[in-house]
């Protein structure tokens, strides 16, 4: 009789242990996924980062963030990324480098971008935009350089010993200027159109374009993030200026693909008068080589 009770107790205990272990595995599977890691047994979890291409943080080393409309980025070094506006590339070949200099909760970076807008200007001259660029206009080779300082601060820093379950709330400030070098005189007028007037100002008379901007990024709900920004531009502080604002909601299908939609506002105050434009924006971002974030518990297990 004792032997029978012992066997039954052993079977019941084993069954309960299996159910408990299975329940824990099932619960873990809902929140984490195992990926390649240098530490065996380490689990990673999807993390819908709120950091955008305008913030000071660079793309993780080895990752490619391919964007339809915004800046596409490649993390070629742990603290450095190469980036480019691919949609603009056929008209103005461009490449930029962003580098994180220092900081954890407050990150300081610099961004340096090169543009060659001559191709786009020649295309506009021959494509029926005579009201902006006459067919008789001489367009030299133009090389434009943008330099900016970017500072991002995490408003809601998380404890290091706990896994970050929500995206950071990030406030970013940027300050910079554009200047251009030419192989000859730019014998065409400034492009009097919303976002083009101030961006092409440095092509003429050795003018410089100065700008300052703010952006706030954070989480709305679960896998929905937001970003909202505003920029102010001044042409040599001569009284001509422009302002832009953009707001977007970012939906993350998973840690590798996201869709964003929102608005873009342009206001221009130039010697030719003022202009205003409001338009919708939509973008898609796919991450190649993306690894999900390491999960850590209270005791770093």
Domain positions in the chain: 32-294
Tell me: pLDDT of 74 over 80: yes
Contact 234, 212 (CB under 8 A): no
Cα-trace Rg, the chain: 26
**Residue 227: which residues within 8 A CB-CB, separation 6 or more?**
50, 52, 54, 215, 216, 217, 246, 247, 248, 250, 260
Residues with Cβ < 8 Å from 93, sequence gap 6 or more? 115, 116, 119
Asked if residue 154 has pLDDT above 50, the reply is yes
Q: How large is the average pLDDT for residues 20-39? A: 37
> Residue 298: pLDDT above 60?
no
**Dihedral angle at the C-alpha atoms of 51, 55, 193, 205, nearest 10 degrees?**
-160
Q: Indicate the pLDDT class of residue 10, thresholds 50, 70 and 90.
A: very low
Q: Give the residue, 52 or 129, on which the prediction is more confident.
A: 52
pLDDT at site 282: 97
pLDDT of 44 > 70? The answer is: no
Which pLDDT does position 292 carry in this prediction?
62
- What value does the mean pLDDT take over residues 46-71? 91
> What average pLDDT does this structure show over 237-247?
96
CA distance 40 to 298: 19
Q: Which has the higher per-residue pLDDT, 268 or 192? A: 268
Q: Which residue has the higher pLDDT, 2 or 195?
A: 195
pLDDT of residue 161: 65
Q: How far apart are CA 298 and CA 214, in angstroms?
A: 35
- Local confidence band at 187 (pLDDT 50, 70, 90 cut-offs): confident
Q: Which of 293, 291, 292, 281 is nearest to 67 (CA)?
A: 281
Residue of 93 and 43 predicted with greater confidence: 93
CATH topology of domain 32-294: Porin (2.40.160)
Mean pLDDT of the chain: 83
51: buried, middle or exposed (CB in 10 Å: 19+, 13-18, 0-12)?
A: buried
Give the per-residue pLDDT at 203.
92
Q: Which of 26-30, 77-81, 281-285, 294-298 has the lowest mean pLDDT?
A: 26-30
């Amino acid at each position: 009789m004792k032997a029978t009770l012992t066997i039954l107790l052993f079977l019941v205990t084993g069954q309960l242990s299996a159910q408990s272990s299975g329940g824990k595995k099932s619960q873990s599977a809902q929140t984490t996924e195992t990926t390649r890691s240098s530490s065996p047994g380490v689990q990673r979890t999807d993390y819908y980062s709120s950091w955008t291409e305008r913030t000071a943080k660079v793309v993780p080393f080895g990752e490619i963030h391919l964007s339809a409309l915004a800046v596409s980025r490649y993390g070629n070094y742990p603290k450095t990324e190469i980036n480019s506006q691919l949609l603009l590339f056929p008209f103005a070949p461009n490449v930029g480098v962003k580098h994180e200099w220092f900081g954890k909760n407050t990150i300081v970076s610099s961004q340096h971008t090169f543009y060659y807008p001559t191709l786009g200007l020649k295309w506009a001259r021959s494509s029926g935009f005579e009201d902006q660029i006459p067919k008789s206009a001489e367009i030299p080779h133009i090389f434009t350089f943008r330099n900016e300082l970017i500072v991002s601060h995490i408003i809601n820093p998380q404890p290091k010993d706990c896994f970050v379950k929500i995206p950071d709330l990030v406030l970013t400030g940027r300050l910079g200027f554009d200047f251009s070098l030419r192989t000859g005189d730019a014998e065409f007028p400034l492009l009097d159109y919303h976002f083009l007037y101030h961006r092409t100002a440095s092509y003429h008379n050795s003018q410089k374009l100065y700008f300052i901007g703010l952006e706030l990024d954070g989480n709305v709900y679960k896998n929905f993030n937001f970003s909202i920004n505003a920029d102010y531009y001044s042409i040599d502080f001569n009284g001509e200026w422009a302002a832009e604002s953009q707001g977007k909601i970012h939906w993350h299908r998973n840690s590798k693909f996201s869709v964003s939609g929102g608005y873009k506002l342009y206001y221009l105050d130039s010697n030719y008068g003022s202009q205003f434009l409001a338009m919708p924006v939509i973008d898609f971002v796919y991450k190649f080589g993306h690894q999900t974030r390491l999960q850590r518990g209270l005791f770093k297990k």
